[in-house]
Amino acid sequence: MPLNYYEVLGCSEESTQEEVKRAYHRRLLQFHPDKNSAADVQEFHDVREAWQILRHRESRRKYDATCKQEQLEEEEEDGPVYARLSLDDMEESVFEDMWFYRCRCGDKYFVDRDTLPEKDSLLQVKCNGCTLIIIVEV
């Protein structure tokens, strides 16, 4: 995910060019090293970078399009959730040291003991055969 320039400037995607400009000037005052010795240099750099993109209608449009695209891809990657369950709901295979759960597509979700996260966390598992995922409480 690229830097969220709107967040950096403190405005939103719906902001007009004028509002973006005002937001930028507010941030400048906040972060400028001359005004604030404790300012975070990286943050100041981000503000400048955000402004370089959002100040021009064309580059802003391109940036918006890129963000939308990435968002779509991210949602797709996560996939729709088929089930939320705990490890106890899954079948355990003693021999292979893993758990499995049957998906509605006929294929299976696998949880390998080696890849188990720490206790009390959630694990997202992709189906082997389709785009569905399950969320497993470990």
Q: What is the dihedral of CA 91, 92, 93, 96, to 10 degrees?
A: 120
Closest to 55 in 3D by CA, of 23, 97, 88, 80: 23
Binding of residue 39 to Zn ion (CB under 5 A): no
Rg (CA), the chain: 23
Binding of residue 129 to Zn ion (CB under 5 A): yes
d(CA 42, CA 36): 14
- Is the Cβ of residue 10 or residue 79 nearer to Zn ion in the bound state? 79
Candidates 23, 127, 133, 134: give the one binding Zn ion (CB under 5 A): 127
- Using the contact rule CB under 5 A, the part of the chain among 27-35, 67-75, 99-107, 114-122 near Zn ion is 99-107
Element (H, E) at 84: strand 81-86
Candidates 103, 111, 134, 136: give the one binding Zn ion (CB under 5 A): 103
Candidates 87, 98, 130, 135: give the one binding Zn ion (CB under 5 A): 130
CB of 60 closer than 8 Å to CB of 13: no
- Is the Cβ of residue 85 or residue 130 nearer to Zn ion in the bound state? 130
Residues in touch with Zn ion (CB under 5 A):
103, 105, 107, 127, 129-130, 132
